[in-house]
């Protein structure tokens, strides 16, 4: 869902066009930002918040800070031990299994560390397989955006609902913080399901968008659902692009994760070809339409 997507120069030029023509003329800036210090006001560019898609946030064990997703190496152990959970209908959230450590998004680097490269241990030649927003972040920094002042990431627990209150609260805080630092409305750049999280915030809190958001660039957002991949996830499992995660392990997570159900296609989804289920029984191939009873 999120791997092999990169922030190309074409996307960057489109983003510049949306966030403002004046941003193109900003001189190169090199800055070091102390995360514990209050950032000084910046007014040359519209602040940008990057919101990743499902599976696109580095996850860590809360107590130790150990990275558990993505682990390209030893993927099975870390996935089963730290990423599995059980849906609680009372809290409407996915919770750790008994005795299982609590897992949260990586928050360092103003949220950018969690979305740059999803497994820093992986080097060339397969580095590009796991790099995510890194290219876009580097280009934005070269053009004058500064981490913690005008550039932020919004990693979220992609196992939870796109409308999970802690996620929406986090994104709201990011928007308000960026606005308060710069006194300039914020531009949001979202990828895949990150666009659905943003759309949920817009639906629930339109006043936030009216007062504090200048532009929203939505890249590859599945507004009608994700169709094939998600149906595959429920039938046999889909590893979110991490080839070292077994499909059956991914399915165990997906059956409990609210976010996966929210990616199911709408009833009026515009299929290019009607979906079907096929199986072989007694040497005969049986085909069932998706709406068959």
Structural contact between residues 201 and 16, judged by C-beta atoms closer than 8 angstroms: no
- Mean local confidence (pLDDT), 178-197: 96
Count Cβ neighbours within 10 Å for each residue of 16-48 and write b for 16 or more, e otherwise. Answer: bebbeeebeeeeebeeeeeeeeebeebebbbbb
Query: What pLDDT shows up at residue 30?
Result: 32
Task: Give the pLDDT score at 234.
Answer: 82
CA-to-CA distance for 198 and 153, rounded, in angstroms? Answer: 13
Higher pLDDT, 191 or 2: 191
The DSSP code sequence of 13-28 is HHHHHHH-GGGGGPPP
pTM of the model: 0.80
Mean pLDDT across 163-183: 97
Q: Are strands 86-88 and 284-289 parallel, antiparallel or unpaired?
A: unpaired
pLDDT at 227 over 50: yes
pLDDT band at 37 (very low <50, low <70, confident <90, very high): very low
- Report d(CA 130, CA 124) in Å as an integer: 10
């Amino acid at each position: 869902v999120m791997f092999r997507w990169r922030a190309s120069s074409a996307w960057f030029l489109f983003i510049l066009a949306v966030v403002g023509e004046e941003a193109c003329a900003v001189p190169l800036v090199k800055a070091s930002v102390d995360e514990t210090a209050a950032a000084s006001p910046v007014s040359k560019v519209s602040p940008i918040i990057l919101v990743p898609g499902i599976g696109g946030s580095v996850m860590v064990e809360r107590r130790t800070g150990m990275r558990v997703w993505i682990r390209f190496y030893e993927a099975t152990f870390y996935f089963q031990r730290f990423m599995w959970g059980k849906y609680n209908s009372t809290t409407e959230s996915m919770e750790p299994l008994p005795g299982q450590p609590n897992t949260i998004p990586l928050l360092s680097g103003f949220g950018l560390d969690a979305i740059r490269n999803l497994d820093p241990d992986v080097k060339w030649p397969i580095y590009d397989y796991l790099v995510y927003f890194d290219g876009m972040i580097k280009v934005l920094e070269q053009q004058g955006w500064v981490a913690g002042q005008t550039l932020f990431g919004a990693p979220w627990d992609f196992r939870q609902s796109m409308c999970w209150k802690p996620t929406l609260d986090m994104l709201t805080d990011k928007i308000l913080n960026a606005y308060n630092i710069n006194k300039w409305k914020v531009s949001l750049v979202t990828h895949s399901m990150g666009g659905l999280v943003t759309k949920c915030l817009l639906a629930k809190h339109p006043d936030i968008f009216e007062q504090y958001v200048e532009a929203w660039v939505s890249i590859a957002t599945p507004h009608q659902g994700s169709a094939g991949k998600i149906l595959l996830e429920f039938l046999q499992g889909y590893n979110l692009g991490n080839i070292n995660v077994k499909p059956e392990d991914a399915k165990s997570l997906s059956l409990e994760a609210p976010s996966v159900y929210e990616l199911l296609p709408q009833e009026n989804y515009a299929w290019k070809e009607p979906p079907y289920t096929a199986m072989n029984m007694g040497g005969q191939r049986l085909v069932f339409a998706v709406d068959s009873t």
